[in-house]
């Protein structure tokens, strides 16, 4: 089971771990710094879980479903399951971030109505992903992030006890932010169209015909927006959806059809390449 991702703008201080990673079946944290980041190293990807990203330092544009978010230290971005994203590195400055991944089960007993997940779920994909300092009423959220980075014999307890109030701060801010990043550029319209028809066998010809563009132009603007090809993007989205169905109890032989794969052998090979195991193994876990 994959987990949520958070990245934070905090620099090491006394008592704070310089860099670390932690993961269990429900939650994971990665605090990392790349001294000389290579743009080609950061690929478009998705998660089966929620992701929250807090930017510490560097230079780049974070793209969520094609929507560009120029980064400033202290920015938080949130992504829900299957929402594609990647960072477009714009220079060689050291790139530092904290990422926290969690599964909703972490919240189930505390937040059964899902209020803390509303900022992730109650919006269109690729919109309202970024939070800046001015979106919060106080700097309390920074304290939660800083505490999350401190050394602790029980890292899990420290992470969870600071993640919950951090999500609450984001939930409160969600009610006040405006969708200033949404645009009607061609790439955003194409991504929206693909996601509306993701399981219907949408093709490059369909897209080009709808938007009166050539395949060459489509591939160029799509690569810039998502760091992937159209086919890669569609395949990953379908695989994420299929895995979620399998984990919910649907047999792989039914899940692949519901997610738009017409051939089980094609689905099997793609699934194993993406997840390192066959669909049947996921179903048995």
Residue 14 has pLDDT above 50, yes or no: no
CA angle 267, 67, 82 (to 5 degrees): 30
Can you give the CATH number for the domain in which 209 is found? 1.10.10.60
The confidence band for 12, taking pLDDT boundaries of 50, 70 and 90, is very low
Cα(66)–Cα(181) distance, rounded to whole angstroms?
Answer: 11
Q: How many residues does the chain have?
A: 285
Boundary of a domain, candidates 144, 174, 204: 174
148: containing domain: 20-174
Residue 4 burial (C-beta neighbours within 10 Å; 0-12, 13-18, 19+): buried
For residues 223 and 32, what is the distance between their CA atoms, to the nearest angstrom? 26
Domain count, the chain: 2
φ, ψ dihedrals at 55, nearest 5°: -85, 125
What value does the mean pLDDT of the chain take?
A: 88
Q: What is the dihedral sign for C-alpha 241, 247, 253, 254? A: negative
Percent over 90 (pLDDT), the chain: 64
* 62 and 53 Cβ atoms separated by less than 8 Å: yes
Quick one: 57 and 159 in the same domain?
A: yes
Beta bridge partners of 78: 52
CB 82 within 8 A of CB 51: no
Report yes or no on 252 lying in a domain. yes
Q: What is the pLDDT of residues 140-165, one digit of tens each?
A: 999 999 998 888 888 899 999 999 99
Q: 191 and 219 in one domain?
A: yes
């Amino acid at each position: 089971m994959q987990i949520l991702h958070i990245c934070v703008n905090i620099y090491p201080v006394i008592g704070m771990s310089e860099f670390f990673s932690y993961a269990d079946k429900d939650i994971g944290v990665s605090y990392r710094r790349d001294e000389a980041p290579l743009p080609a190293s950061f690929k478009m990807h998705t998660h089966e879980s929620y992701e929250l990203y807090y930017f510490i330092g560097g230079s780049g544009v974070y793209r969520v479903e094609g929507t560009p978010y120029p980064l400033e230290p202290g920015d938080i971005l949130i992504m829900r399951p299957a929402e594609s994203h990647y960072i477009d590195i714009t220079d060689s400055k050291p790139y530092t971030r904290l990422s926290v991944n969690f599964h909703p089960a972490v919240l189930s007993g505390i937040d059964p109505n899902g209020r803390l997940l509303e900022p992730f779920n109650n919006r269109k994909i690729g919109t309202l992903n970024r939070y800046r300092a001015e979106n919060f009423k106080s700097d309390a959220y920074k304290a939660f992030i800083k505490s999350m980075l401190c050394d602790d014999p029980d890292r899990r307890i420290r992470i969870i006890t600071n993640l919950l109030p951090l999500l609450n701060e984001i939930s409160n801010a969600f009610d006040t932010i405006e969708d200033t990043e949404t645009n009607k550029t061609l790439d955003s319209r194409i991504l929206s169209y693909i996601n509306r028809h993701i399981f219907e066998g949408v093709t490059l010809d369909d897209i080009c015909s709808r938007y009166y563009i050539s395949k060459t132009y489509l591939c160029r603007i799509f690569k810039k927006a998502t760091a992937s090809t159209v086919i890669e993007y569609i395949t990953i989205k379908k695989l994420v959806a299929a895995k979620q169905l399998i984990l919910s109890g649907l047999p792989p032989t039914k899940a692949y059809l519901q997610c738009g794969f017409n051939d089980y052998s094609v689905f099997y090979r793609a699934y194993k390449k993406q997840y390192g195991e066959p669909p049947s193994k996921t179903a048995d876990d």
